[in-house]
Amino acid sequence: MPTGCTFRHQSYKVNISGQEYALFDTVGFDEGTEGTVPAAQAKKGLNGLLAKLTSPVSDGIDLLVYCVQSTRARHALLRHYNHVYSTICRKKVPIVVVVTGLEDEPIMENWWNTYGQEFESLGMLFKDHACVTTLVEDPGTPVDFIHRIAESRKVLRNLIVKNCSE
């Protein structure tokens, strides 16, 4: 089971196509005993962040980007989807899914064509999706991975711009 790389939520200001966005990276759930943050602590931190972002004094949340690894068990994903989207955000915020870990897929979008319907069959409805790799480019990265990394960046930027409410 993969370990997380985020120890607490982190805010990032980014510019995409001339528009400023505030992105929040949160601690992952269900990382097992090897995880960086226990599940209960991760859930508590996320609840606090979402409460702050949905409070009347906040600008609110314009888009939830639900990142999942292509190998994760679907029922655990459903539990977290229901907690964040249905319970906390009360289905008032658009939600998209980003499937990661697809660096070995010749055409990353093919993963969604094969498995995407499983989300809907479990009751997880998304406004949109993206299939990407989250590999980091370094000097020894093979050329085909460099192309997938660049494609993933473009796909993610387009996903945010297309689905983020005004």
Is residue 156 one of the residues assigned to a domain?
yes
CATH code (residue 128):
3.40.50
Is residue 4 one of the residues assigned to a domain?
no
Distance separating alpha carbons of residues 123 and 7, to the nearest angstrom: 30
Q: What are phi and psi of 163, to 5 degrees?
A: -110, -5
Q: How far is CA 45 from CA 79, 88, 94, 142, in A?
A: 17, 13, 21, 37
**117-124: average pLDDT:** 90
Does the model's pTM come out above 0.85? no
pLDDT tens-digit series, residues 15-62: 999 999 988 887 766 554 455 667 677 777 777 777 787 778 878 788
Distance separating alpha carbons of residues 130 and 108, to the nearest angstrom: 9
**Three-state SS for 25?**
strand
Nearest to 72 by CA among 31, 109, 107: 31
Return the structure tokens found at 26: 């949160």
Is residue 5 one of the residues assigned to a domain?
no
What's the distance, Cα to Cα, between the start and end of the chain in Å? 37
Q: What is the mean pLDDT of the chain?
A: 83
Range of the domain at 82: 10-163
**Three-state SS for 91?**
coil
Q: How many domains does the chain have?
A: 1
Give the CA angle between residues 82, 61, 49 to the nearest 5°.
70
Distance separating alpha carbons of residues 75 and 77, to the nearest angstrom: 5
- Long-range Cβ contact pairs of 145-150 (< 8 A, separation 24 or more): 145/103, 148/102, 148/103, 148/108
Lowest mean pLDDT among 70-84, 127-141, 142-156: 70-84
Is residue 2 one of the residues assigned to a domain?
no
